[in-house]
Structure 1
């Protein structure tokens, strides 16, 4: 049976709904850009002033260090854990997977206080490690869930063919499945990078007395507190902080969308 064709009326209705949601998303951004540029005067010097007065060079560097480390470590561990849980079928795999799922259900707000005392007792407060380790654990829960879903969709015949050719599980993973799963992996990378870059609560608690370790969102919050009425300067700072994530998404948007849609395709 062929799928029913969408009528012209339904198509235009779909376009209207999409345009409405696009407008709701873009209008606030246009307002932010207009204020940052001080339109209609077009004053781009506001960005330079915000960069200097907000110490964003230091804060952006810290965010890059934390984000790159979290994404790299969490991605590698998620790929290996997802492969093990999705294809190897060892005893207790279901229980282990439920443990990872439990990590997705616990909000940061529920654990941040005891987590801080644990980090402080280990001497990890006001350090990069104190920010990186908890966020890696949080990202690992999602990454394992995501990669397990991908590996479970791999045709069993492909895995059997790799075994018949003498490939070990390690070789099958890194030389066969990972190259095939680039869209799914890049989607996981983009989402993890966005969440890590935008994380505010953990850095606020962990680096409470180390100004030189503040991340970009945390630095923006303190910058806002000292420039409450200078709206062009605040909007410029917000755009500076958002720029890396926007650029990352635009650069990888094709693969990101392909990875998001791949789960809807059934063999």
Structure 2
């Protein structure tokens, strides 16, 4: 009986500690949401206090219209959607080749892919910039999309590789008997079976691209109308003043799509991570 009471007490303390840690972790996000409803003066003077004296919903309309967030939102949606499609297709094809096809040097190639994970993105931006420039796509939407979708995407390739290796060989053998070729087998049989990995790739790449700052900044320097939401935050910074409440409202707007995508795909995301680790 005493052990049961002690165990319950320990569990209660553990849950209390986790709830406290969770509250501290979420607090900055909640504070930003409430700060988007404050005036600039109240934003600076209120400190860590959450509730505004009077909700300033006009901050959102100011961010949307005056801060040009309507255009930035559309740019982010186009860049993110195109980048996610490109990355999903390329990563799935690479993972399928490494996971299902036996060829000389496969392990060396996989090791080379893995090694690129340790290369900082700042070192690769120069060749990417030169390539986009020589293609004549600098300061264009296709140029931003290609720059965002560039790179090895090693994490996704490894997830696809582990998943495709775990699938039974009989699937491909049955497809060959039915006269299905390599790409048809991949498109109609193997890819639909990898929906959890596809969802994982979509969620992670969506978040990375939607919140990307460095690449859109570099490739839209001379075209402010092509800015994405993350870069568009500069519109709230003047020469001598900063519209803090407008910036908080803009940040709140930019978080809505990320939250929606994660809520819709979270079940597949968890299944994809669990399945790849198991495989």
Give CA deviations for 1:77-126 in whole Å, capped at 9, x if unaligned.
Answer: 21111111101112222233233323322222122234324433432211
Distance 2:183 2:127 in 1: 37
RMSD: 2.5
Look up the match of 1:28.
28
Distance apart, 1:129 and its partner CA: 2.4
Larger Rg: 2
Q: What is the DSSP-based 3-state SS (H/G/I as helix, E as strand, rest coil) of the residue aligned with 1:89?
A: coil
Look up the match of 1:99.
112
- Tell me, which stretches of 5 or more residues in structure 1 are unaligned? 1-6
Q: What is the DSSP-based 3-state SS (H/G/I as helix, E as strand, rest coil) of the residue aligned with 2:104?
A: coil
Distance 2:150 2:128 in 1: 12
- Contact persistence 1:75–1:140 (CA under 8 A): no
- Tell me, which stretches of 5 or more residues in structure 2 are unaligned? 1-6, 39-51
> Superposition pairs for residues 151-170 of structure 1, below 5 Å?
151-164=164-177, 166-170=179-183
Choose which of 195, 209, 212 in structure 2 pairs with 1:196.
209
Q: What is the DSSP-based 3-state SS (H/G/I as helix, E as strand, rest coil) of the residue aligned with 1:138?
A: coil
> Superposition pairs for residues 203-222 of structure 1, below 5 Å?
203-222=216-235
Distance 1:51 1:212 in 2: 14
Q: What is the DSSP-based 3-state SS (H/G/I as helix, E as strand, rest coil) of the residue aligned with 1:129?
A: helix
Q: TM-score, normalised by structure 1?
A: 0.86
Is the counterpart of residue 49 in structure 1 residue 77 in structure 2? no
Q: Count residues with an aligned counterpart.
A: 260
Distance 1:139 1:191 in 2: 15
Distance 2:166 2:18 in 1: 30
Distance 1:47 1:194 in 2: 22
> Superposition pairs for residues 11-22 of structure 1, below 5 Å?
11-12=11-12, 15-16=15-16, 18-22=18-22
Q: TM-score, normalised by structure 2?
A: 0.83
- Contact persistence 2:91–2:157 (CA under 8 A): yes
- Contact persistence 2:236–2:244 (CA under 8 A): no
Distance 2:173 2:107 in 1: 22
